[in-house]
């Protein structure tokens, strides 16, 4: 049995990219592994977010994660700020990472570009992420493709810390799905679907009504060549639709491509598949929102379990670097 850890920021409306790139794969591994899933509210503070909105979104993200199928009987679902060892270990790891390494992080460059002021926390964000995972001695981190570079840094930090202070951390690896690891925006198929970019027609929300899903897929940008073929370089829009169909139905992208002569039929089936995929999530979200007390109880129990594991690792790391106790 492996230990699995992953996290998501409570910073917006969740979309198909989050679901297919991450959440769905969390649900798939929960029963065979020891799994920790975390609502990373401290990470959400790296960008501008209204305090009352953060509070609300934190609980609502827990609702979403339960609605997609995480089973609180088998996973540890918790809020990052409820376990104080996360920022404490992050400091020890900030003193392990170098400025040169952090300067190379592509997501920092993307998220900071064009902003007048950039929070220091956005810069050290990947180090807090490393602390999240290393505290639980996780072997595997299921994430979307955009997190690969952060995972590489995390591995480097774990190895460096272990070499410098003695073996303390398991060195984790990224687990990225074979299809839909990078779901693209339906309107701009050259960029990933994202909750931090305003593209209402290009983003399919997990809670979108069937008629909105149908409309967004029908208006998805394709190309003028007219042939259905999987070729992400030359045909990003069509290839994205094929990946969505493949991820939603289980057929391979090539098999899916061979079934269609034109874009109209492909779009009709993609819309249909996504509507059936998301319908149960919508329904379950409504049920859970009606019993937030139960969701809060799940998070309290989760924090308790997480804290027990995290405190053992933190104490070991603190002792290893020579903190007096």
**How many C-beta neighbours within 10 Å does residue 316 have?**
15
Site membership for ligand LTN, residue 77 (CB under 6 A): no
CA 269 to CA 213: how far, in whole Å?
Answer: 12
**Judged by CB, which is closer to ligand LTN: 148, or 282?**
148
How many binding residues for ligand ATP (CB under 6 A)? 19
The reply to whether 178 belongs to the active site is no
Query: How far is C-alpha 225 from the geometric centre of its chain's CA atoms?
Result: 34
Please give the structure tokens belonging to residue 306: 């997480």
Q: Pick the piece of the chain touching ligand ATP (CB under 6 A) from 67-75, 166-174, 175-183, 233-241.
A: 175-183
The reply to whether 192 belongs to the active site is yes
Closest approach, Cβ 227 to ligand LTN, in A, equals 35
Among the listed residues 109, 178, 195, 211, the single catalytic one is: 195
Closest approach, Cβ 120 to ligand ATP, in A, equals 18
Please tell me whether residue 68 adopts helix, strand or coil conformation.
Answer: coil
**Judged by CB, which is closer to ligand ATP: 122, or 228?**
122
CA 17 to CA 27: how far, in whole Å?
Answer: 15
Q: What is the DSSP string of 124-155?
A: HHHHHHHHHHHTTT-SEEE--GGGHHHHHHHH
Please answer whether residues 33 and 1 qualify as being in contact, where contact means their C-beta atoms are separated by less than 8 angstroms.
yes
**Judged by CB, which is closer to ligand LTN: 49, or 201?**
49
The reply to whether 235 belongs to the active site is no
Please answer whether residues 270 and 238 qualify as being in contact, where contact means their C-beta atoms are separated by less than 8 angstroms.
no
Q: Of 236-265, which residues contact ligand ATP (CB under 6 A)? A: none
Site membership for ligand LTN, residue 141 (CB under 6 A): yes
Site membership for ligand LTN, residue 17 (CB under 6 A): no
From the list 147, 168, 194, 222, which residue makes contact with ligand LTN (rule: CB under 6 A)? Answer: 147
Q: What is the DSSP string of 82-107?
A: GSTHHHHHHHHHHTTS-HHHHHT-HH
Contact pattern from residue 11 through residue 30 relative to ligand ATP, giving x for each residue in contact according to CB under 6 A and a dash for the rest: -x----xx--xx--------
Find residue 78's DSSP bridge partners. Answer: 38
**Judged by CB, which is closer to ligand LTN: 5, or 230?**
5
Name the DSSP class of 204.
Answer: -
CA 308 to CA 305: how far, in whole Å?
Answer: 5
Closest approach, Cβ 189 to ligand LTN, in A, equals 21
Contacts of residue 171, Cβ cutoff 8 Å, sequence gap at least 6: 155, 158, 159, 162
**Judged by CB, which is closer to ligand LTN: 137, or 222?**
137
Closest approach, Cβ 39 to ligand ATP, in A, equals 9
CA 10 to CA 8: how far, in whole Å?
Answer: 7
E strand residue ranges, the chain:
3-8, 34-39, 75-79, 140-142, 173-175
Contact pattern from residue 110 through residue 149 relative to ligand ATP, giving x for each residue in contact according to CB under 6 A and a dash for the rest: ---------------------------------xx-xx--
**Judged by CB, which is closer to ligand ATP: 72, or 202?**
202
Distances (CA, A) of 264 to 43, 212, 274: 41, 17, 16
Q: Residue 133 binds which one of ligand ATP, ligand LTN, none, with CB within 5 to 8 A depending on kind?
A: ligand LTN
Interacting residue ranges for ligand LTN, rule: CB under 6 A: 5-9, 40, 43, 129, 132-133, 141, 143, 147, 150
Residues acting as catalytic residues: 111, 192, 195
Interacting residue ranges for ligand ATP, rule: CB under 6 A: 8-9, 12, 17-18, 21-22, 143-144, 146-147, 181-183, 192-196
């Amino acid at each position: 049995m492996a230990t699995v850890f992953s996290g998501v920021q409570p910073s917006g409306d969740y979309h198909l990219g989050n679901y297919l790139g991450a959440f769905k794969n969390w649900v798939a591994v929960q029963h065979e592994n020891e799994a920790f899933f975390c609502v990373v509210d401290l990470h959400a503070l790296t960008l501008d977010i209204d305090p009352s909105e953060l509070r609300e979104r934190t609980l609502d993200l827990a609702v979403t994660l339960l609605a997609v199928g995480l089973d609180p009987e088998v996973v540890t679902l918790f809020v990052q700020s409820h376990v104080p060892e996360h920022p404490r270990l992050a400091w020890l790891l900030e003193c392990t990472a170098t400025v040169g390494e952090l300067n190379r992080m592509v997501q920092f460059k993307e998220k900071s570009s064009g902003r007048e002021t950039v929070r220091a926390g956005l810069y050290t964000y990947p180090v807090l992420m490393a602390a999240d995972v290393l505290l639980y001695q996780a072997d595997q981190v299921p994430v979307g493709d955009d997190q690969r570079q952060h995972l590489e840094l995390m591995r480097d930090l774990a190895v460096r810390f272990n070499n410098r202070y003695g073996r303390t951390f398991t060195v984790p690896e990224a687990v990225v799905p074979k299809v839909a690891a990078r779901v693209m925006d339906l309107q701009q198929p050259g960029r990933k679907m994202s909750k931090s970019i305003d593209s209402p027609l290009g983003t399919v929300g997990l809670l979108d009504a069937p008629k909105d899903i149908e409309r967004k897929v029908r208006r998805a940008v394709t190309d003028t060549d007219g042939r259905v073929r999987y070729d992400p370089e030359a045909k990003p829009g069509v290839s994205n639709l094929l990946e969505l169909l493949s991820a939603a139905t289980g057929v391979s992208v090539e098999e899916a491509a061979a079934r269609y002569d034109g874009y109209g039929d492909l779009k009709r089936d993609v819309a249909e598949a996504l509507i059936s995929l998301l319908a149960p999530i919508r329904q379950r979200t409504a049920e859970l929102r009606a019993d937030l007390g139960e969701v809060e109880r799940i998070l309290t129990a989760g924090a308790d379990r997480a804290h027990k594991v995290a405190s053992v690792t933190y104490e070991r790391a603190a002792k290893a670097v020579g903190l007096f106790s």
